[in-house]
Structure formats: structure tokens, C-alpha cells
Structure 1
Amino acid sequence: MAFALKYFILFLVLSMVSQGMCRCTFGDIQIRTVRTGREIAGQPEWKVTVTNTCKCLQKHVTLSCGGFAPVKPVKPWLLQPQGNTCLLIKGAALPAGATANFIYAGQPYIFRPVVSTVDPSCKN
């Protein structure tokens, strides 16, 4: 009886730990911005790479972008402004480990992930 109880508790603890590790959030979205070396209308050009570091697919990735005013706008299908936020790739899925890139010219801007939807069927 004690043997079965020990294994049941071990199973329960491992289930909770593994389930906790499976949870992805918008915090698993990494954003890297680098200067391309080009200038447009006297402003530096920047390449932004958004990477899903989670093992699960994420969609509806939304970034902060209040006050973002580039002189070379981003193509709307890549970054769609919605008030103080911007929807990445029209809300399409960003698979595990995948990246989405966009380029803009203007003052440097620090994008931050605000929200995303994690595929509910994902099991790491």
C-alpha cells in the first residue's frame, strides 16, 4: 500500500511539474532589433525579428507600438496597427521556433510582446 502511495504522489508531482513547463505565454516571444546600415529619408533602417521560443504554436501575437511613427512604414500584412498595439502577420500562426521579420525606417523603437494565443492542443 505504501509503495503504491509513493508512486501515486510521484506521478502527481511529475504531472504538475510537466504541465507547468508546457505553459507558454507572450513572454516566450523574443524581439530583436538591429540596424541594417541603410538610411531612408535621413532616418536609420531597422530589421525587427520576432521569434516564438515556445515549443507550442502561438497566434494573434500582439506587440506594443504606441507612438511608433516610422518614415518607412511596415507592410500592413506584417504589422497592423490597432491603437497602441500592432498585430503581427495579421494574427497568423507563428510556429514553435519560427520567426517573423519586418523592416522600418525611423527612430529606434522598443517593441514588446503584449498578448498572444497559445495553441490549446499543444503538449510539450
Structure 2
Amino acid sequence: MEFALKYFVIFLLLSMVTQGLCGCTFDEIEIGTERTGKEISGQTEWKVTVINTCTCPQKNVTLSCSGFSPVNPVDSGLLLPQGNTCLLIKGEALSAGGTAEFAYAGEPYIFKPVSSTVDPSCNH
């Protein structure tokens, strides 16, 4: 009985550890913004880089974008407004360590990750 209990505890601990290796959350989405040096319609152009710092792909990445009003709309294939949030790259997976970039002209805006889902193909 003691033998089985030890292995059960070891199995339980290993299960918890391996689940944690791929426990990606939207907190592992980093966003950087920088000036491009260009102006469009008298407004500064900004390049936004979204990086997945997790070891697993994440999809359906949504960013805060309430009040975001660029001079020209961002390509909807890159950033699709959906009320107070925007869907990144049509909800497609952002690979582990992968980046997505888009540019806009207007007032500086601080994008924040709101949600994402871990791609089920991640087998870590």
C-alpha cells in the first residue's frame, strides 16, 4: 500500500509540474510601441510589436483598444476592433517567441493584453 501511495504522489506532482510548463496566459504577451519617424496626415506613425514570451503558441489574442482612434484604420487582418477590445491577427496562433506587428498614425495608445487561449497543439 505504501509503495502505491508513493507512486501516486510522485505521479500527482509530475502532472502538476508538466501542466505548469505550458500554463500560458495573456500575461506572457508583451507589447512594445515605437515611433517610425513617419507622419501621416500630420500625425506621428507608431509601430506596435506584440511578442508571445511563452513556450506555447497562443491564439485568440485580444488587446485593449477602447478609445483607440488612428488616423487611418489598421488592416483588420492584423488588428480587428471588437467593441472595447481588438483581435490580433484574426485570432490565429502567435507562435512561441513569435511576434506580430502593425502600424498606425495618431495619438500614442498603450495596448494591453486582455485574453488569449493556449493552442492545443502544445505538447510541453
| Fold agreement, TM-score > 0.5 | yes
- Provide Cα deviations, 1:31-79, integer angstroms capped at 9, x if missing partner: 1111111122221110001111111111111111000001132111111
3-state DSSP class of the match of 2:56? coil
Using the aligned pairs only, state the percent identity.
71
Q: Which residue of 1 aligns with 2:104?
A: 104
Q: Report the count of equivalent residues.
A: 124
Deviates more, 1:7-16 or 1:49-58: 7-16
Aligned 1:70-85 pairs, distance under 5 A: 70-85=70-85
> Once the 2 structures are TM-superposed, how far is the Cα of residue 2 of structure 1 from its aligned partner?
5.9
Q: Which residue of 2 aligns with 1:16?
A: 16
- After superposition, the CA RMSD in angstroms is 1.8
What CA distance in whole angstroms lies between the structure 2 residues aligned with 1:4 and 1:90? 48
- 5+ long unaligned stretches in structure 2: none
3-state DSSP class of the match of 1:18? helix
Normalising by the residue count of structure 1, what TM-score does the alignment of the two structures yield?
0.87
Task: Check 1:121–1:76 CA distance in 2 against 1; reply closer, same or farther (3 A cut).
Answer: closer
> Once the 2 structures are TM-superposed, how far is the Cα of residue 104 of structure 1 from its aligned partner?
0.3
Q: Which residue of 2 aligns with 1:57?
A: 57
What CA distance in whole angstroms lies between the structure 2 residues aligned with 1:118 and 1:97? 13
Amino acid at match of 2:47: K
What CA distance in whole angstroms lies between the structure 1 residues aligned with 2:102 and 2:75? 8
Deviates more, 1:10-19 or 1:70-79: 10-19
Contact in 1 for aligned 2:65/2:85 (Cα 8 Å): yes
Normalising by the residue count of structure 2, what TM-score does the alignment of the two structures yield?
0.87
- 5+ long unaligned stretches in structure 1: none
What CA distance in whole angstroms lies between the structure 1 residues aligned with 2:80 and 2:103? 13
Amino acid at match of 1:64: S
What CA distance in whole angstroms lies between the structure 2 residues aligned with 1:56 and 1:122? 6
> Once the 2 structures are TM-superposed, how far is the Cα of residue 105 of structure 1 from its aligned partner?
0.5
Aligned 1:25-44 pairs, distance under 5 A: 25-44=25-44
